[in-house]
Structure 1
């Protein structure tokens, strides 16, 4: 399996020329990289105007590997070929490296690039990508892969430190500014011969007096004093400072997983892609396994689109019954800055709410709570100046009894847990369960199998008044905001609940109709497409120059999307004889409109070339009206 790495954009707040001077100090040896023993120049090229400088080096590495493995491999050192292409005119440096040793067994490729920041010409951007493919290595393939990845990630962390080390060294030498490259100027002498005079481009020593006065070399040559611009993200890429500020400290491999999954979403989901925090949650939920994270993320994105969850806070108003009797609400934040949600489950009439509203209305309300939680996390990230991606939930179980174990109520709870676990992973930072009664173990036995292992580790359960002692509530919540019903002094504006009046109960038929209405308020429909059983949709053209649009997600497998046009309307499909015997046909809910007797080119024509849609893709396009066909 090929291991890949993609770095975020690392920004140096120094000009490109100064970064290049610092970079060159790494050769021929670099004491900051112990494994880098030395390097020899193999080839070198300089253009006449000195704008282009290409140098190829053979680098000698002392890899930190077990002595036995080195003995079996028969080598003490590993050699790499590195080619640096510097273009002073464009202010770019492209670095390509590959392994020379064991190249028939192991293939390592690395590409790095230094460029000028698109929003600030006095800053420099750095990007890095690499791939590792171990074909065979004396039966030690797994060991070699681990060693290679460990060494590589270790060097990645040192990369920026090394540049900054040599920048400081240049500063100590009095070099803080290097002029940009300028093209040489031709002159004619008295004898009619031309010669080239090259402008000086040597490092500039800044006088100490200028430094003391707070002037930089550029200010010494110009009167313009531009303001310091905000750091941008080049070409909508993630930079390392942004990741640390808004997403937290990630390892190089975790950063790579985030960037690669984000790039895949940008390529396949042409419409709106989720926020970086959202992508990161799904990666964490699957231990940064990209394939597994991508699968559950795509399923969740399709679910969100189908049920328009992105708009739930703006378009859906909870029924008054929920506002009066649902005993939960947001209450300040915990000591880590996480939003705090308080739920007095023991005071909630779950049976009454289910009988009055139905399972789907409760689910939708819980979804709105989760969406509000995501918003509050973003706000707290800005307020506290550090990444906050989850919230804390405080559940008070005083009053919990056998009434809460009513089977339809437990069924609704399990359904809610299932949906939340699938679509809001890693949003629960901590769950504090207080005043757990004797009946709690019964409820826990019912619901715990549906809760993810990582989520269960975040549960803290206190019986009786144990939450008031050491290791209790005060360890996680400031004394000033402990709710009054838990002995604190802070008023908690959470409904006290009580029994839902039976006059608000609804019949099973009414609840079923309401449930259908809640989850069919969408323009999207689902269809299963099988080989030989395409799903076809007929759209009638009623006006000239009509335009149609289509928007669909491919949840599983690959499909082919076709558009056909016919001057005569297809006949409604005949009822499948299998259906009369209550046997489900392979096509499920598919509809096939094009008559088998029709011939392409005579009875109908193809509007556009077939579009192959891969698993996980989101497709949104517009064209003229036609018959749309989905097929495998």
Structure 2
């Protein structure tokens, strides 16, 4: 496989002629390059008018390779052939070199060029590229490739330093100007012409944009413009310190996009994020980047900030927002997850609206990173997220909500890699390990390493918030003095909930997967759902809404399933418990019954202790009449009207989670308070709701 390398444009703020004078001092040897042992001129020619000077050299290199490898190869030195073409008229120098040693086994080809800066004639540009093709090398192909990569990276890094060393030497000798070449009056004109190889360096183009106030969109124009090539100073100023090989990957991937991608290409910062996400593996980074570009185009994500209008329910109840920046200048996003009614938001908006809101947050984060890069004068490519979990409890483990969260994580991980610099999780309660166990497998390993988790209130001491956030910007609800405008959240009113039928009409929605089922509950004919549990210590979870009437919810266990007709229900209002069964003998009640009124939403979970069959039952509830008075009460009248209908309706969702999915978090789950978890009118006045867990 041919390995290719491309360096960014390096700019010397000195005239071309002075740089050429410094370049010539590298020969015949250079003490700054220990591996460069010697060189000899094989041939030297000049055009008739003296404008073009051609030199062919043979260079002797002592490659930094293991002694054993040199003995196996039978050589101590490696020889390269170099041809330099200096065009004084065009002010360019082209350097082409290739290896003579082992040329039948290894092919190394390098191109370098110096040229006058296209925008400033008193500056000089330098570019360098190389290719390596190892056909065979005594079984040491991988070792030779690593050595060549190391040598190439070292030469790029030292190249600019060497020229600057000799430029300083010339200055110390009092040589600060070398006159440009001019043709003599009697010399014949030369027919040799050379096209300038240097495009306008990106840094200078950005400076011009700043002066003219030209917009810099998220996506750049396609190939052809002079500022497509990257400048080394621009990379350091706007992208950060990269190794020569990392710079090469960025430039080559950018060039590939210019040549093959139709339309616009991403900004350099965007390309760099995908390279970092794949440890600068060009092929892997190119694959996920192209997939993301297709996704962005399909969903018009580039225009999301201009077209997306956040629904009012999000503005009122989504407990997240931007808040100043951290000590490194990264934008700071605060999410008060423990105060958020995740179920209410999903039920009121649907998954798709939540996803678009999260995408708009990520797009806004990219924009803020660019702004902070300009403000702080250093590259800022990611942001910090602070998540406050005070108030987190079992109602946040609502399974449809968790599934929506997992989908959002999947989309963000695929399209916004390396945008999260640090995640600070504060006031993590005992139930947090359960949520973490559910979502952590879907988070990239590199991202998980950026998580810092603090339990309790000890988060402002050593290693806490003050290490990452200035004291004056710590939010007031975390004990700081800075007022934070992030909404406090609260329960989303049920009047804003949308029905499953309404959400099914959307193109993409959580509810199109038929997560919820509807059931009618008649007087004398309860609705039951049977779940077969193979492994003890599994977790049964449920969530249901009482749409009409009042019901009583039970959870039973039976070991007689294999000898009875218990089967998975195939229709509505199916009764599975045989009327001949005796409670406490044939089946047992594993949770106390719960009376649920019309309009209530109920969530709960149960850790199973035995294998067998577990039965969830919704039974019609009849309110008992009052014997204290002969006059009818209003409640009794309403109850009689309800009884006359003889029908209730529930919409439910249930799931069994294997104990292995908790991986050590079962202890935290079992330590929660016992009882039913209800996010309903009955519990709306409490700051936290309990969870139904059997011990």
- The verdict on a shared fold, with TM-score over 0.5 as the criterion, is yes
The answer for the alignment partner of 1:212 in structure 2 is none
The answer for the alignment partner of 1:290 in structure 2 is 282
* Deviation for aligned residue 1:48: 1.9
The answer for the alignment partner of 1:434 in structure 2 is 426
CA offsets 1:542-564 (integer angstroms, 9 cap, x no match):
xxxxxxxxxxxxxxxxxxxxxxx
The answer for the alignment partner of 1:185 in structure 2 is 185
The answer for the alignment partner of 1:157 in structure 2 is 157
Please, which of 321, 329, 332 is the counterpart of residue 324 of structure 2? 332
* Deviation for aligned residue 1:517: 9.5
Alpha-carbon distance between aligned partners in 2 of 1:281 and 1:196, rounded to the nearest angstrom: 54
2:291 aligned with 1:299: yes
Describe the SS at the equivalent of 2:505. Answer: helix
The answer for the alignment partner of 1:382 in structure 2 is 374
Decide whether the 8 Å contact of 1:14 with 1:124 is kept in 2.
yes
**Structure 1 334/229 Cα, relative in aligned 2: closer, same or farther at 3 Å?**
closer
* Deviation for aligned residue 1:196: 9.2
Q: Report how many aligned residue pairs link the two structures.
A: 482
Considering only CA atoms, is the larger Rg found in Structure 1 or Structure 2? Answer: 2
Superposition pairs of residues 199-598 of structure 1, within 5 angstroms: 234-516=226-508
Superposition pairs of residues 130-141 of structure 1, within 5 angstroms: 130-141=130-141
**Structure 1 240/483 Cα, relative in aligned 2: closer, same or farther at 3 Å?**
same
Describe the SS at the equivalent of 1:120. Answer: coil
**Structure 1 235/127 Cα, relative in aligned 2: closer, same or farther at 3 Å?**
same
* Deviation for aligned residue 1:144: 1.0
Describe the SS at the equivalent of 1:278. Answer: helix
CA offsets 1:188-209 (integer angstroms, 9 cap, x no match):
xxxxxxx899xxxxxxxxxxxx
Alpha-carbon distance between aligned partners in 1 of 2:402 and 2:207, rounded to the nearest angstrom: 50
The answer for the alignment partner of 1:602 in structure 2 is none
Alpha-carbon distance between aligned partners in 2 of 1:25 and 1:414, rounded to the nearest angstrom: 61
* Uncovered stretches (5+) of structure 2, i.e. residues with no partner: 190-203, 209-224, 511-695
**Structure 1 317/419 Cα, relative in aligned 2: closer, same or farther at 3 Å?**
same
CA offsets 1:432-458 (integer angstroms, 9 cap, x no match):
000000000000000000000000000
CA offsets 1:17-73 (integer angstroms, 9 cap, x no match):
111000000000000000000100011111121101000000000111111111111
Decide whether the 8 Å contact of 1:38 with 1:60 is kept in 2.
yes
Alpha-carbon distance between aligned partners in 1 of 2:13 and 2:296, rounded to the nearest angstrom: 40
Describe the SS at the equivalent of 2:96. Answer: strand
Decide whether the 8 Å contact of 1:86 with 1:93 is kept in 2.
yes
Alpha-carbon distance between aligned partners in 2 of 1:74 and 1:404, rounded to the nearest angstrom: 69
**Structure 1 315/235 Cα, relative in aligned 2: closer, same or farther at 3 Å?**
closer
Alpha-carbon distance between aligned partners in 1 of 2:429 and 2:87, rounded to the nearest angstrom: 72
* Deviation for aligned residue 1:236: 2.1
Decide whether the 8 Å contact of 1:318 with 1:365 is kept in 2.
yes
Alpha-carbon distance between aligned partners in 1 of 2:119 and 2:249, rounded to the nearest angstrom: 26
Decide whether the 8 Å contact of 2:473 with 2:480 is kept in 1.
yes
* Deviation for aligned residue 1:466: 2.3
The answer for the alignment partner of 2:113 in structure 1 is 113
* Deviation for aligned residue 1:428: 0.2
The answer for the alignment partner of 1:101 in structure 2 is 101
Decide whether the 8 Å contact of 2:84 with 2:96 is kept in 1.
yes
TM-score of the pair, normalised by structure 1: 0.75
Superposition pairs of residues 49-198 of structure 1, within 5 angstroms: 49-186=49-186
Alpha-carbon distance between aligned partners in 1 of 2:108 and 2:504, rounded to the nearest angstrom: 60
**Structure 1 417/196 Cα, relative in aligned 2: closer, same or farther at 3 Å?**
closer
2:31 aligned with 1:39: no
Over the aligned positions, Cα root-mean-square deviation in angstroms equals 1.9
The answer for the alignment partner of 1:607 in structure 2 is none
Describe the SS at the equivalent of 2:122. Answer: strand
Alpha-carbon distance between aligned partners in 2 of 1:375 and 1:516, rounded to the nearest angstrom: 27
CA offsets 1:315-370 (integer angstroms, 9 cap, x no match):
11010000000000000000000000000000000000011000111000000000
Alpha-carbon distance between aligned partners in 2 of 1:304 and 1:296, rounded to the nearest angstrom: 12
Describe the SS at the equivalent of 2:112. Answer: strand
* Deviation for aligned residue 1:268: 1.5
**Structure 1 480/230 Cα, relative in aligned 2: closer, same or farther at 3 Å?**
closer
Alpha-carbon distance between aligned partners in 1 of 2:238 and 2:14, rounded to the nearest angstrom: 23
Describe the SS at the equivalent of 2:265. Answer: coil
* Deviation for aligned residue 1:148: 1.2
Decide whether the 8 Å contact of 2:10 with 2:126 is kept in 1.
yes
* Deviation for aligned residue 1:235: 4.4
Decide whether the 8 Å contact of 1:337 with 1:380 is kept in 2.
yes
Alpha-carbon distance between aligned partners in 2 of 1:145 and 1:419, rounded to the nearest angstrom: 37
Decide whether the 8 Å contact of 2:503 with 2:509 is kept in 1.
no
Describe the SS at the equivalent of 2:266. Answer: coil
Decide whether the 8 Å contact of 1:117 with 1:234 is kept in 2.
no
The answer for the alignment partner of 1:587 in structure 2 is none
* Deviation for aligned residue 1:514: 3.6
Alpha-carbon distance between aligned partners in 1 of 2:506 and 2:480, rounded to the nearest angstrom: 40
**Structure 1 332/229 Cα, relative in aligned 2: closer, same or farther at 3 Å?**
closer
**Structure 1 353/387 Cα, relative in aligned 2: closer, same or farther at 3 Å?**
same
Alpha-carbon distance between aligned partners in 2 of 1:304 and 1:229, rounded to the nearest angstrom: 27
* Deviation for aligned residue 1:74: 0.8
The answer for the alignment partner of 2:567 in structure 1 is none
Describe the SS at the equivalent of 1:250. Answer: coil
Decide whether the 8 Å contact of 2:236 with 2:242 is kept in 1.
yes
Decide whether the 8 Å contact of 1:98 with 1:108 is kept in 2.
yes
Describe the SS at the equivalent of 1:300. Answer: helix
Alpha-carbon distance between aligned partners in 2 of 1:337 and 1:38, rounded to the nearest angstrom: 49
Alpha-carbon distance between aligned partners in 2 of 1:358 and 1:469, rounded to the nearest angstrom: 40
Alpha-carbon distance between aligned partners in 1 of 2:172 and 2:319, rounded to the nearest angstrom: 64
**Structure 1 229/255 Cα, relative in aligned 2: closer, same or farther at 3 Å?**
closer
* Deviation for aligned residue 1:513: 2.1
Alpha-carbon distance between aligned partners in 2 of 1:63 and 1:132, rounded to the nearest angstrom: 15
Alpha-carbon distance between aligned partners in 1 of 2:82 and 2:306, rounded to the nearest angstrom: 55
* Uncovered stretches (5+) of structure 1, i.e. residues with no partner: 187-194, 198-227, 519-632
* Deviation for aligned residue 1:259: 0.4
CA offsets 1:572-598 (integer angstroms, 9 cap, x no match):
xxxxxxxxxxxxxxxxxxxxxxxxxxx
* Deviation for aligned residue 1:493: 0.2
**Structure 1 255/298 Cα, relative in aligned 2: closer, same or farther at 3 Å?**
same
Decide whether the 8 Å contact of 2:254 with 2:271 is kept in 1.
yes
Alpha-carbon distance between aligned partners in 2 of 1:22 and 1:381, rounded to the nearest angstrom: 35
CA offsets 1:459-496 (integer angstroms, 9 cap, x no match):
00000012122100000000000000000000000000
* Deviation for aligned residue 1:270: 3.1
State the 4+ residue runs in structure 1 displaced beyond 3 angstroms. 228-235, 514-518
* Deviation for aligned residue 1:177: 0.7
